[in-house]
Chains A and B, each alone.
Chain A
Amino acid sequence: MRGFDRINAVLPDELILEIFRHVESKPSRDACSLVCKRWLSLERLSRDTIRIGASASPGNLVKLLSSRFPNIRYVFIDERLSVSLPVQCRKRRRHSRGSTSSGRFCHGSEQSVFGDDGMGTGCLSDSGLATVGDRFVKLEKLSLIWCSSITDVGLRSLAEKCKSLRSLDLQGCYIGDKGLAAVGECCNFLEKLNLRFCEGLTDTGLVKLAIGCGGTLKSLGVAACAKITDISFEAVGSHCRSLESLSLDSETIHNKGLLAMAKGCSALKVLKLQCLNITDDALQAVGIFCLSLESLALYSFQKFTDSRLSELALLYCQRIESDGLSEIGKGCKFLQALHLVDCSAIGDDSICSIARGIGDEALISIGQGCSLHHLNVSGCHQIGDAGIIAIARGCPQLSYLDVSVLQNLGDGALMELGEGCPSLKDVVISHCRQITDIGLNHLVRRCTLMESCHMVYCPGITEAGVATMVTTCTRIKKILVEKWKVSARTKRRAGSIINYLCVDL
């Protein structure tokens, strides 16, 4: 290139800042600040995120960092993570040159400074939180994870300062109703709030928050808040009309609360529930009112019905009945991923119904097969060949299949999968005692895109089956199998991609 060879001289500040804007990780940012003095000052101006760990004396660090980075908008303080950096000591040493009072911290071992922010602890205190509010007035996103020392007082002083806060994560903080009410009162742009494990909260706080800033709230997480009841979710239903995502883990919420929420929050897209006291009635309401729902995760449920799912995760739902799944099969034309783990009551009928229902829908509406891409039915003992064959015939785009621990699954199902699902990439057939080389051979002859296969504890699969897979599936990247089933020749061909669960098996 002609004209210039020192591009730094012609690159305007704005361009460098624009590049920095896309450099997100701290190590890369640090590298930029080390390039030259000009880049250092630009980088300091443009840094918008800081993360602080527990033993880093957050209060002091906030002061230091706020003077260094004037435009911070995202602050993450996580007291579960401890950072012990020797540099902390050196930094203080440098810092203390002009201040004799802190000189005593410098002489001891490097560890001596940890946890010492003048408070005797490494936790963020209310005054530390107030500093965050004072110094970072442009704050938009704040995470205070398990900051056990902060109280309502600190939260209020922060809320009063940081009025443009959009996201607040208080996971595991022991804050109370007054603090949350202050957030509702002051933070009128709040969109995302995580209150998981805020055990000190009651309905009073959450109701005030909903009244205060419910209109803008899009995402809410509540877990292990024993004093939050249906009253809160009635308020959420009345005030949080834009809510798109709710994660709720509670033993104190009943149908009444969820029903009110569902009626009010019709924009809901993502719902994760782990609630012992919620039954089919409330979920039907979700199905009726929340027409935008894209993802529903249910944990520990008995019955459920819904109609516009794209992903469904049912983990360890021992009591789910086949009828419930049949309903989903009939209605869920958007279903793309299905995870059913250890749902031992689910039988062939319901799986047939899913495959049929989706297949029909798809044929009518888009003229190409079913949209199920992922299926995990690990440990669903009642599922046998008939159910999986229906999937094989109805879901040609299937790419991930976990049928491990299905005692009644035989070669017939594998043959049909080979015929019907040529896109299969990842297959887990471990602990399927009926499957033999015959089924496996059929599968791998057709499913040549296969990338990974887990097949330990399958007595019917031998050295020959493993060898065929290695030869046929040229894209295979990972095979999990017993070592004695791998011949010397196979090992030469594909030793690097074969993992042995246990050498002595």
Chain B
Amino acid sequence: MVTTDEKGPLTAKKKSVIIRSCDGDEFLVSESAAVLSTSLKKILEEKEDRLIHLSDIDNKTLAMVIAYLSTHADDGLSDDLKRSFDQEFVSGKEFDVLKYLVLATDTLQVTCLCYTVAKKMADIMKNKLVEWVRREFDIQNDYTPEAEAEIRRLDAWAWDDRQLEDD
């Protein structure tokens, strides 16, 4: 299956590449969009092959990254529009989706999106209990109860920031 991005026929005329997800689906992406990813750019510089296989990014995540890249490669959009797209892009996304997205942006080296997603994740993590964080990241608690209690004690060295505002 070949899925074109939203500007299908227009970009097809330009140079384009096919990116295959770990699920086996293929996405047609304009080269101008693909090279916004530092990793893809390197791959394209190194080999003539127009088919890139990404073994650790699934369909859903790859489609999101490609939508982002295509929007940012669109010269017709103002920077302001792109910024508001970025905000829109991460808003409302589940934490679970974001953590795979952030991983994909890291693999593909899409720095701007990586920052945006990381920021959004941090926003969600604000004022969450440690148990919540462990659950969402699926992390095993490797502390002994004594060690955990000790860290809690050490961390209590200052007052609660939430009562304070700098400047």
Residues of A whose CB lies within 8 Å of any CB of B are 1-3, 5-8, 10-12, 14-15, 18-28, 30-37, 39-40, 50-53, 56, 61, 64-65, 68, 76, 81, 83, 85, 87-88, 90-91, 94, 143
- Complex: A64 Cα to B106 Cα, angstroms: 35
Identify the closest chain A residue to B159 (Cβ). A83
Residues from chain B with Cβ under 8 Å of A22 in the complex: 118-119, 121-123
Task: Select one of A3, A5, A143 contacting B138, CB under 8 A.
Answer: A5
Find out whether the CB atom of B162 lies under 8 angstroms from the CB atom of A15.
Answer: no
Find out whether the CB atom of B161 lies under 8 angstroms from the CB atom of A25.
Answer: yes
Identify the closest chain A residue to B115 (Cβ). A18
Stretch of B39-47, B85-93, B125-133 lying at the A interface: B125-133
User: Does B25 reach chain A (CB closer than 8 Å)?
Assistant: no
- Complex: A20 Cα to B119 Cα, angstroms: 9
Find out whether the CB atom of B122 lies under 8 angstroms from the CB atom of A25.
Answer: no
- Complex: A31 Cα to B154 Cα, angstroms: 12
User: Does B19 reach chain A (CB closer than 8 Å)?
Assistant: no
Identify the closest chain B residue to A95 (Cβ). B154
User: Does B1 reach chain A (CB closer than 8 Å)?
Assistant: no
- Complex: A33 Cα to B103 Cα, angstroms: 21
Find out whether the CB atom of B130 lies under 8 angstroms from the CB atom of A23.
Answer: no
Residues from chain B with Cβ under 8 Å of A53 in the complex: 158-159
Find out whether the CB atom of B155 lies under 8 angstroms from the CB atom of A34.
Answer: yes
Identify the closest chain B residue to A17 (Cβ). B118
Task: Select one of A1, A6, A20, A36 contacting B100, CB under 8 A.
Answer: A1
- Complex: A15 Cα to B113 Cα, angstroms: 12
Find out whether the CB atom of B134 lies under 8 angstroms from the CB atom of A87.
Answer: no
Task: Select one of B96, B121, B154, B161 contacting A19, CB under 8 A.
Answer: B121
Interface centre among B103, B106, B161 (most CB of A within 10 A): B161
User: Does B164 reach chain A (CB closer than 8 Å)?
Assistant: yes
Residues from chain B with Cβ under 8 Å of A39 in the complex: 139
With known contacts A3-B58, A18-B115, A33–B155 Cβ distance under 8 A: yes
Residues from chain A with Cβ under 8 Å of B129 in the complex: 31
User: Does B102 reach chain A (CB closer than 8 Å)?
Assistant: yes
Task: Select one of B106, B114, B152, B162 contacting A25, CB under 8 A.
Answer: B162
- Complex: A34 Cα to B161 Cα, angstroms: 17
Stretch of B30-38, B62-70, B75-83, B142-150 lying at the A interface: B142-150
Residues from chain B with Cβ under 8 Å of A64 in the complex: 157
Task: Select one of A6, A21, A35, A87 contacting B118, CB under 8 A.
Answer: A21
- Complex: A73 Cα to B56 Cα, angstroms: 37
- Which residues 1-31 in B have Cβ within 8 Å of A in the complex? 22-23
User: Does B84 reach chain A (CB closer than 8 Å)?
Assistant: no
Since A28-B125, A31-B130, A52-B158 are in contact, a sample of 17 more A-B pairs with Cβ atoms closer than 8 Å, ordered by chain A residue number, is A2-B22, A5-B138, A7-B137, A10-B103, A11-B137, A15-B103, A21-B118, A22-B118, A25-B127, A27-B127, A31-B125, A32-B130, A37-B142, A39-B139, A51-B159, A53-B158, A91-B157
Using C-beta atoms within 8 Å of the partner chain, give the interface range for chain B: 35 or more
Q: In angstroms, how far is the closest chain B Cβ from the Cβ of A105?
A: 16
With known contacts A12-B106, A25-B162, A91-B154, A34–B114 Cβ distance under 8 A: no
Identify the closest chain B residue to A32 (Cβ). B133
Task: Select one of A25, A36, A51 contacting B139, CB under 8 A.
Answer: A36
Q: Is the interface of B mostly helix, strand, loop or mixed?
A: helix
User: Does B48 reach chain A (CB closer than 8 Å)?
Assistant: no
Interface centre among A23, A34, A87 (most CB of B within 10 A): A34
Residues from chain A with Cβ under 8 Å of B49 in the complex: none
Find out whether the CB atom of B106 lies under 8 angstroms from the CB atom of A14.
Answer: yes
- Complex: A40 Cα to B154 Cα, angstroms: 12
Interface centre among B96, B119, B128, B154 (most CB of A within 10 A): B154
- Complex: A76 Cα to B163 Cα, angstroms: 14
Find out whether the CB atom of B160 lies under 8 angstroms from the CB atom of A27.
Answer: yes
Find out whether the CB atom of A94 lies under 8 angstroms from the CB atom of B114.
Answer: no
Residues from chain A with Cβ under 8 Å of B126 in the complex: 23, 25, 28
Q: In angstroms, how far is the closest chain B Cβ from the Cβ of A19?
A: 5
Residues from chain A with Cβ under 8 Å of B143 in the complex: 34, 36-37
Task: Select one of A2, A31, A40 contacting B133, CB under 8 A.
Answer: A31
Find out whether the CB atom of A27 lies under 8 angstroms from the CB atom of B118.
Answer: no
Find out whether the CB atom of A51 lies under 8 angstroms from the CB atom of B164.
Answer: yes
Residues from chain A with Cβ under 8 Å of B115 in the complex: 18
Find out whether the CB atom of B161 lies under 8 angstroms from the CB atom of A7.
Answer: no
Q: In angstroms, how far is the closest chain A Cβ from the Cβ of B6?
A: 25
- Complex: A91 Cα to B58 Cα, angstroms: 47
Q: In angstroms, how far is the closest chain A Cβ from the Cβ of B71?
A: 22
With known contacts A1-B100, A28-B128, A15–B118 Cβ distance under 8 A: yes
With known contacts A31-B130, A37-B143, A18–B118 Cβ distance under 8 A: yes
Find out whether the CB atom of B151 lies under 8 angstroms from the CB atom of A8.
Answer: no
Residues from chain B with Cβ under 8 Å of A27 in the complex: 127, 160-162
Identify the closest chain A residue to B147 (Cβ). A37
Find out whether the CB atom of B123 lies under 8 angstroms from the CB atom of A6.
Answer: no
Q: In angstroms, how far is the closest chain A Cβ from the Cβ of B154?
A: 6
Task: Select one of B96, B128, B140, B164 contacting A36, CB under 8 A.
Answer: B140
Find out whether the CB atom of A32 lies under 8 angstroms from the CB atom of B125.
Answer: yes
| 17 A–B contacts from the bound complex (CB under 8 Å) | A1-B58, A1-B96, A6-B138, A8-B140, A10-B103, A18-B115, A23-B125, A27-B127, A35-B133, A36-B139, A36-B140, A37-B143, A51-B159, A51-B161, A87-B156, A90-B153, A94-B153
Find out whether the CB atom of B119 lies under 8 angstroms from the CB atom of A31.
Answer: no
- Complex: A61 Cα to B159 Cα, angstroms: 13
Find out whether the CB atom of A36 lies under 8 angstroms from the CB atom of B150.
Answer: no
3 tightest A-B contacts by CB? A22-B122, A87-B156, A26-B161
Q: In angstroms, how far is the closest chain B Cβ from the Cβ of A117?
A: 14
Residues from chain A with Cβ under 8 Å of B22 in the complex: 2-3
- Complex: A14 Cα to B164 Cα, angstroms: 29
Q: In angstroms, how far is the closest chain B Cβ from the Cβ of A223?
A: 16
Residues from chain A with Cβ under 8 Å of B153 in the complex: 87, 90-91, 94
Find out whether the CB atom of A34 lies under 8 angstroms from the CB atom of B159.
Answer: no
With known contacts A18-B118, A27-B127, A34-B148, A8–B158 Cβ distance under 8 A: no
Identify the closest chain A residue to B126 (Cβ). A28
Identify the closest chain B residue to A81 (Cβ). B159
Residues from chain A with Cβ under 8 Å of B23 in the complex: 2
